[in-house]
Chain A
Amino acid sequence: MACKADLVVSDQFPTGLRVLVVDDDITCLRILEQMLRRCMYRVTTCSQATVAMNLLRERKGCFDVVLSDVHMPDMDGFKLLELVGLEMDLPVIMMSADGRTSAVMRGIRHGACDYLIKPIREEELKNIWQHVVRKKWNENKEQEHSGSLDDNDQHKRGSDDVEYDFSATEGAEELLITQKRRRDAKEENEELENDDSGTAKKPRVVWSVELHQQFVSAVNQLGIDKAVPKRILELMNVPGLTRENVASHLQKFRLYLRRLSGVAQQQGGFPNSYCGPVEQNAKAGTLGRFDIQALAASGQIPPQTLAALQAELLGQPTGSRALTGMDQPLLQASLLGTKSIPVDHGVTYGQPLMRCPSNISKQFPQTVLTVEDVHSGLGVWPSNDLGVVGASSNLGGLGAQSGNILMGMLPQHQHPCQQQQQQLKQSIVPEPSRSINVQPSCLVVASQSSASFQSGKSPASVNQNSFSKGCVIDYRHLSPQSNNSSVVAGLLSDGDVRRTSVLNGCGGPGSISPSVSSCSINADSSAGRHFSGVSPNISGVQGSYCSTSGQLLDQVPLRNLGFVGKGISIPSRFAVDEPGSPTSNLNCGKIYGERNGNKVKQEPRMDFVENVKVDIPILQNFSANDLTSVFSE
């Protein structure tokens, strides 16, 4: 494929957008390729992430946007996202069959430009160009602000970029306005993502291990709260490095930290959605299988999880991490937001921070934007000596508002620093009304809607306000139980049925109302200890996904198939119609019945064999072996 961008712009912008699609699912890959071709994009497909990375590295500047699946065997999609963000700084759009809010949230946190849920429609693909343009506009705007560059730099990115700028004026104006708003929201990080005026060619400074190490020590010295680019730059004392470089790197760093905490938080909750090598938190493991973030948020991230997490992010073997005994003091320090965080210690992330996922698009623009606009390009963080600051870093990064929430939502820890935690939290708890804004910005799907797999699928695009339906999770009816399994089981008694009905509200800590806060779902026994008001609930809320209709789907077949837990207490409010119904095959029977019924009306040509077992005379390609092998016990 030609590396030069021969864009035919004119009326047909964004024709010729160069897209790289990465997905191990060949079916989807082929379909996407066809769809993208129809959008007049130039498509390259790849079924392996490692191959894709090589392709991107070899042909830098030859792609405009990357579409990647989340679950891939050789590399986690989010890892690819990081690497691409770090090395090539291209917009990356994630795709997944998993449309659960939690999964989408992960995508957002990792800095994906967008998150598409399969099956992907052509219309969604038509829109991906906006991410490219937005990014470029952002960067250009930053350049203007920093005043160090001119139009030449735009050309450096490839000739077609200029064309994007010129020909996209109409759409771009809107983008500009959006960006302006966003920019106001995150002033501190305004001057980012721009070029180093020192290096003529490549706009990005390469953050080597040593450089990053210097950066981190500077940050730790200053304290993550007080770490401003200017001071960091001074401390680092690296010739040729500009404040802008540091600023953009700082933003990425913060993003990285935030994501670490988020990821760590979810370790226990995603048995199958997170394919990284991180082992599940032993504690969370008891609840572990269940996709409830609350469980993961139960508290402690053991050193090995952190280590594994860090290792996974850095692409290094977990064995090389040495974290034992380090995280406690670091956590403690981080909780208190002290400056004296030793640099030489490994990653310390005991604080799974609560997010406000459902509120993100509305209430906390800062949060979203920092996530969105800056890729968590983390590919090459240095190894052992990374002193990662914990919770407080995020507080520093976000506005006070969200910071309060985060602090207020910190789940309990089995730490000596609990006390301080409590104090901190208690001091903040009284302000839930300010910080935790229970607003309609929840992802909700009415539980009574039909289970059409496609119809209600809410595109998890962060650009759309899919978080628009208002609802409050009412966890009142879920009794706080110290017994993990029963709570969880209760939650999942009807498999996802529970999930869907429970989660008929906002799926995130941000959506907590004071009333809800009174009850504690936190399955972890340590739940009761801390928060007088807010947090236990948060853990519970966190664990909920707003049900998309994709989840409702779970409801339907489950009911049909009768996969219901046995003897689990189901709070009446969320009771499913037929818990533990013996009529497991009912619907299947119905289906078959339908078929038979229809059979009568249809022409003889429709030859349904009831148990499609073997003989399908009209089918040629279908060997009997296929069928019998499938059915053979």
Chain B
Amino acid sequence: MLGLGADRLRADMNRLLAFLFHQGVLDEQFLQLQQLQDESSPNFVSEVVNIYFHESEKLLRNLRGLVLEREFSDYKKMGIHLNQLIGSSSSIGAKRLTNICVAFRAASDQNNPTACLRALELLEHEYCYLKNKLHEFFQIEQQRVMAAGVRYPIQN
């Protein structure tokens, strides 16, 4: 019974992932992250994703500050933040979010405040969505581990 629960949860995880892939929210880089997880770093994926969320929120706040500035002119700084966001988002496989960032960067290069604002909104939106989904994913994972653990003796 418990074993079945674990399997079902695993199936749910896979389904969620497949869905996210299908939508283009995640890409294969996320799979790479999963492959990097092993016994020496059993929580690698969630660790990295949490770091990512933490850092990204800082960047998003900064971006928001820059975009909403009255004298909206520091495109260079915006570009710097965006570069970092692009780097980290693409590194965890958040493809859709990365795309938005790239577009944002382009708007910033153009010194286009309207476009920047719109990009920011989209970005924040997407970020929330991604965060939700990934949290969901990790939750299921947690439940699965627990379900599996109850049935089988925990090693190490």
Task: Return the CB mask of A288-331 against B: 1 if under 8 Å, else 0.
Answer: 01110000000000000000000000000000000000000000
Residue B15, interface by CB 8 Å: yes
Residue A400, interface by CB 8 Å: no
> Which residues of chain A have C-beta atoms less than 8 A from B122's C-beta?
561, 588
Is A612 in contact with B51, judged by CB distance below 8 angstroms?
no
Please pick, from A563, A594, A605, the residue contacting B23 in the complex, using a CB distance under 8 A.
Answer: A594
Is A565 in contact with B118, judged by CB distance below 8 angstroms?
no
A48 CB, nearest partner CB in chain B, Å: 14
A34 to B80, CA, bound (A): 25
Task: Return the CB mask of A554-574 against B: 1 if under 8 Å, else 0.
Answer: 101110110101000000000
Residue A209, interface by CB 8 Å: no
Residue B60, interface by CB 8 Å: yes
Is A30 in contact with B51, judged by CB distance below 8 angstroms?
yes
Is B128 in contact with A627, judged by CB distance below 8 angstroms?
yes
A187 to B136, CA, bound (A): 61
A129 to B27, CA, bound (A): 28
Is A290 in contact with B132, judged by CB distance below 8 angstroms?
no
> Which residues of chain B have C-beta atoms less than 8 A from A54's C-beta?
none
A12 to B26, CA, bound (A): 34
> Which residues of chain B have C-beta atoms less than 8 A from A453's C-beta?
27, 90, 95, 98-99, 102
Is A31 in contact with B103, judged by CB distance below 8 angstroms?
no
Chain A residue with the shortest CB-CB distance to B49: A27
Known contacts A275-B80, A453-B27, A612-B129; decide if A550 and B102 are in contact (CB<8 Å).
yes
A290 to B115, CA, bound (A): 16
A window 517-554: CB within 8 A of B: 550, 553-554
Interface size class of B (residues with CB under 8 A): 35 or more
Known contacts A30-B51, A612-B132, A630-B128; decide if A38 and B36 are in contact (CB<8 Å).
yes
Task: Return the CB mask of A153-173 against B: 1 if under 8 Å, else 0.
Answer: 000000000000000000000
A246 CB, nearest partner CB in chain B, Å: 40
Say whether chain A's binding surface is mostly helix, strand, loop, or mixed: loop
Is A118 in contact with B55, judged by CB distance below 8 angstroms?
no
Is A495 in contact with B103, judged by CB distance below 8 angstroms?
yes
Residue B7, interface by CB 8 Å: no
Known contacts A24-B84, A27-B92, A119-B91; decide if A618 and B118 are in contact (CB<8 Å).
no
Is A289 in contact with B36, judged by CB distance below 8 angstroms?
no
Residue A619, interface by CB 8 Å: yes
Chain A residue with the shortest CB-CB distance to B87: A97
Is B48 in contact with A622, judged by CB distance below 8 angstroms?
no
> Which residues of chain A have C-beta atoms less than 8 A from B33's C-beta?
31
A162 to B18, CA, bound (A): 48
Chain A residue with the shortest CB-CB distance to B44: A34
Task: Return the CB mask of B24-67 against A: 1 if under 8 Å, else 0.
Answer: 10011100110010101100100110011001010010001000
> Which residues of chain B have C-beta atoms less than 8 A from A96's C-beta?
83, 87
Residue A603, interface by CB 8 Å: yes
Residue A621, interface by CB 8 Å: yes
A216 to B55, CA, bound (A): 46
A563 to B47, CA, bound (A): 35
Known contacts A27-B55, A271-B79, A453-B99; decide if A495 and B107 are in contact (CB<8 Å).
yes
B65 CB, nearest partner CB in chain A, Å: 12
B window 79-120: CB within 8 A of A: 79-80, 82-84, 86-88, 90-93, 95-96, 98-100, 102-103, 105-112, 115, 118-119
Residue B70, interface by CB 8 Å: no
Residue B72, interface by CB 8 Å: no
Is A598 in contact with B87, judged by CB distance below 8 angstroms?
no
Is B102 in contact with A34, judged by CB distance below 8 angstroms?
no
A window 260-278: CB within 8 A of B: 271-273, 275
Please pick, from A25, A122, A584, the residue contacting B87 in the complex, using a CB distance under 8 A.
Answer: A25
A630 CB, nearest partner CB in chain B, Å: 5
Please pick, from A37, A557, A618, the residue contacting B103 in the complex, using a CB distance under 8 A.
Answer: A557
Is B88 in contact with A27, judged by CB distance below 8 angstroms?
yes
> Which residues of chain B have C-beta atoms less than 8 A from A588's C-beta?
122
Chain B residue with the shortest CB-CB distance to A610: B129
Task: Return the CB mask of A600-616 against B: 1 if under 8 Å, else 0.
Answer: 00110110010111001
A190 to B105, CA, bound (A): 43
Known contacts A272-B108, A454-B28; decide if A557 and B84 are in contact (CB<8 Å).
no
Known contacts A27-B55, A453-B95, A612-B125; decide if A563 and B80 are in contact (CB<8 Å).
no
Residue B16, interface by CB 8 Å: yes
A26 to B50, CA, bound (A): 11
Is B106 in contact with A554, judged by CB distance below 8 angstroms?
yes
Is B103 in contact with A558, judged by CB distance below 8 angstroms?
yes
Is B75 in contact with A271, judged by CB distance below 8 angstroms?
yes
Other A-B pairs, 18, CB within 8 Å; known A31-B48, A563-B110: A27-B88, A27-B92, A31-B36, A98-B83, A119-B92, A119-B93, A272-B75, A492-B110, A496-B109, A561-B103, A563-B118, A603-B12, A606-B16, A609-B132, A619-B139, A621-B135, A622-B132, A630-B124
Would you list 16 pairs from A and B whose C-beta atoms are within 8 A, ordered by A residue? A25-B88, A28-B87, A28-B91, A30-B48, A35-B36, A96-B87, A119-B90, A119-B91, A272-B76, A272-B109, A453-B99, A553-B99, A591-B24, A602-B19, A630-B127, A630-B128
Please list the residues of chain B having a beta carbon within 8 angstroms of any beta carbon in chain A.
12, 15-16, 19, 22-24, 27-29, 32-33, 36, 38, 40-41, 44, 47-48, 51-52, 55, 57, 60, 64, 75-76, 78-80, 82-84, 86-88, 90-93, 95-96, 98-100, 102-103, 105-112, 115, 118-119, 122, 124-125, 127-129, 131-132, 135-136, 139
